[in-house]
């Protein structure tokens, strides 16, 4: 239950009930052995967004979907929606296959821990491209520009017509369906069938042409990851899921990976409750957090001088996330209302890179709050922070890694189709990472203890340490993930 409740709420009953109907109704639309609807998971979830939002309180519809599909838990979702294709050919037994397919953003890890391995890096977004530009790759490492090649991929008119004719037959049977009978859905499906078969053809040809033996992608719910996970199953090749940021159910299910490199006990338990076999789960830690262990902080004197903070002051940092203005205003008001309880302390606001909030506009002029610019890295800030406040950010884990205390903020967060649809944002509360602020006055009490109780910090540091021990194992993540990859390269059956 760490990263979302096991039971389905109304949002997920609608989202996954409709997904099941989409998968089952159009399963006969196949290309190269892959059911086309399964390739379109994320586009379909985008398409049904307005329908789901409008029907969150439609008790009759929700009851009917729940009864019809028997979807009560996230485990049910995983078991009923994975829909693995049949093995077409067992490529893992082919001796010359020796290559790992990785996202371009994982180049630093590969160059460090798989320096002699044959790697094919995929470019699927600007971040992959940006990372790869920083390195000169050795001869056994190559790049496949997925985004560029997808735009150039051709599909024969004959193939398209066969699938579109089959689609029309299915749609005629769906003329009374609440969603599939609409002309807008037909138009959407025609467009996305073409997108799906381009993905399948491009990536299927890639796996056949290149000696790929182990596959990993950034995500299984967006392409190329969705299609690659299906093709990996088709050819009995290992697909390794390596989560690099905290995710919830909507960013994972359904998952088809053969192996999962998880951060620690909490993530392992979360996956097991979703029907993932323990034999597929390996605790490796997180390669993205590894740099925290080697980070060289600026000196305290230099950091404090840059921000004009007196050397004897306590530093409390708020690490924001991209919530709406109302949520941010609530948090800022809590902070401002509590400032009078602080002595010899300063509050820093570290905006999330994707947070567009103008915090300076929300703040009353005060010497006790500083909004940081982008030039201050998160780790530099954490180095000199005594307490970090956040709602549910990865920064809580990184703060614990630096042996700093955590304060968990829990403002009321309105429903949002993507960002707030379950209790994911309460995962730090469930993990007991630190004291919880959920209403006006809570933060003032915590600040008073910080000011007046010399032992309070030690209490919070113990909470932070216990949270870290359950969340992240201490072994070297790069070495552990590399070991998984090397073991799978040697696998012959």
pLDDT of residue 294: 82
Domain that holds residue 153: 85-286+477-490
H helix runs in 384-452, sequence order: 395-401, 427-430, 442-452
Q: Is there a single domain that holds both residue 270 and residue 122?
A: yes
Q: Is residue 218 a part of any domain in this protein?
A: yes
**292: Cβ contacts below 8 Å, ≥ 6 apart:** 379, 398, 401, 402
Q: Is residue 70 a part of any domain in this protein?
A: no
Out of 104-118, 291-305, 475-489, which region has the weakest mean confidence (pLDDT)? 291-305
Q: Is residue 54 a part of any domain in this protein?
A: no
Half-sphere exposure of 102 (CA within 13 A, CB side): 23
pLDDT of residue 493: 75
Q: Is residue 57 a part of any domain in this protein?
A: no
- If you average pLDDT over every residue of the chain, what do you get? 96
Q: Is residue 48 a part of any domain in this protein?
A: no
Q: Is there a single domain that holds both residue 299 and residue 269?
A: no
pLDDT of residue 26: 98
pLDDT tens profile 391-420: 999 999 999 999 999 999 999 999 999 999
pLDDT of residue 477: 95
Q: Is there a single domain that holds both residue 230 and residue 301?
A: no
If pLDDT is split at 50, 70 and 90, which confidence band does 293 have? confident
pLDDT of residue 364: 87
Q: Contact, 464 vs 390, CB < 8 A?
A: no
Q: Is there a single domain that holds both residue 300 and residue 162?
A: no
Q: Is there a single domain that holds both residue 211 and residue 179?
A: yes
Average pLDDT over every residue of 17-46: 98
pLDDT tens profile 263-285: 999 999 999 999 999 999 999 99
If pLDDT is split at 50, 70 and 90, which confidence band does 1 have? very low
Instruction: Count up the domains in the chain and report the number.
Output: 2
Instruction: Determine whether 329 is exposed, middle or buried from the number of CB atoms within 10 Å of its CB (0-12, 13-18, 19+).
Output: middle
pLDDT tens profile 54-91: 999 999 999 999 999 999 999 999 999 999 999 999 99
pLDDT of residue 292: 83
pLDDT tens profile 429-453: 999 999 999 999 999 999 999 999 9
**Sheet containing strand 240-241, strands side by side:** 240-241, 259-262, 281-283
Q: Is residue 16 a part of any domain in this protein?
A: no
- Nearest alpha-carbon partner for 29 in 211, 230, 164: 164
Q: Is there a single domain that holds both residue 263 and residue 380?
A: no
When computed from its CA atoms, the radius of gyration of the chain, rounded to whole angstroms, is 25
Q: Is there a single domain that holds both residue 254 and residue 214?
A: yes
Q: Is there a single domain that holds both residue 356 and residue 254?
A: no
**353: Cβ contacts below 8 Å, ≥ 6 apart:** 374
Q: Is there a single domain that holds both residue 101 and residue 250?
A: yes
Q: Is residue 19 a part of any domain in this protein?
A: no
If pLDDT is split at 50, 70 and 90, which confidence band does 2 have? low
Q: Is residue 219 a part of any domain in this protein?
A: yes
Strand partners, 420: 416
Residues in the chain, how many? 493
Q: What is the CATH number of the domain that holds 194?
A: 3.40.50.2000
């Amino acid at each position: 239950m760490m990263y979302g409740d096991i039971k389905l709420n109304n949002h997920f009953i609608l989202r996954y009930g409709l997904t099941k109907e989409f998968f089952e109704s159009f399963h006969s639309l196949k290309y190269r052995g892959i059911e086309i609807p399964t390739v379109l998971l994320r586009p379909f979830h985008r398409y049904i967004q307005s329908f789901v939002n409008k029907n969150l309180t439609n008790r009759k519809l929700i009851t009917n979907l729940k009864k019809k599909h028997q979807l009560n838990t996230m485990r049910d979702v995983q078991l009923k929606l994975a829909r693995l294709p049949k093995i077409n050919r067992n490529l893992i037994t082919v001796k010359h296959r020796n290559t790992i397919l990785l996202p371009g953003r994982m180049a630093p890890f590969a160059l460090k821990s798989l320096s002699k391995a044959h790697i094919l890096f995929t470019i699927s977004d600007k971040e992959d491209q940006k990372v790869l530009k920083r390195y000169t790759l050795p001869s056994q490492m190559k790049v496949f520009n997925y985004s560029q090649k997808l735009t150039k991929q051709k599909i024969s008119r004959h193939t398209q017509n066969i699938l579109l004719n089959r689609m029309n037959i299915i749609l005629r049977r769906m003329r009374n369906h609440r969603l599939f009978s609409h002309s807008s859905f037909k138009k959407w499906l025609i467009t996305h069938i073409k997108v799906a078969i381009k993905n399948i053809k491009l990536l299927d040809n890639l796996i056949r042409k290149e000696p790929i033996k182990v596959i990993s992608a950034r995500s299984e719910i967006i392409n190329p990851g969705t299609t690659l996970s299906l093709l990996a199953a088709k050819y009995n090749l290992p697909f390794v899921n390596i989560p690099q940021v905290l995710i919830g159910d909507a960013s994972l299910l359904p998952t088809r990976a053969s192996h999962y490199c998880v951060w620690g006990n909490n993530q392992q338990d979360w996956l097991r409750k979703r029907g993932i076999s323990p034999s597929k789960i390996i605790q490796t830690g997180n390669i993205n957090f590894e740099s925290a262990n080697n980070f060289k902080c600026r000196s305290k004197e230099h950091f404090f001088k840059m921000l004009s903070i007196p050397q004897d002051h306590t530093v409390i940092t708020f690490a924001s996330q991209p919530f709406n203005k109302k949520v941010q205003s609530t948090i800022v008001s809590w902070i401002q209302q509590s400032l009078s309880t602080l002595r010899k302390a300063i509050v820093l606001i570290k905006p999330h890179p994707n947070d567009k909030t103008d915090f300076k506009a929300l703040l009353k002029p005060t010497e006790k709050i500083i909004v940081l610019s982008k030039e201050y890295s998160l780790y530099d800030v954490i180095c000199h922070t005594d307490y970090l406040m956040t709602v549910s950010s990865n920064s809580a884990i990184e703060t614990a890694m630096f042996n700093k205390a955590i304060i968990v903020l829990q403002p009321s967060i309105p429903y949002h189709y993507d960002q707030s649809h379950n209790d994911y944002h309460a995962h730090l509360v469930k993990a007991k990472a630190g004291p919880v602020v959920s209403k006006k006055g809570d933060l003032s009490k915590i600040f008073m203890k910080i000011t007046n109780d010399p032992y309070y910090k030690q209490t919070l540091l113990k909470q932070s340490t216990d949270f870290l021990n359950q969340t992240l194992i201490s072994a070297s993540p790069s070495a552990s993930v590399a070991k998984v990859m090397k073991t799978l390269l040697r696998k012959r059956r």
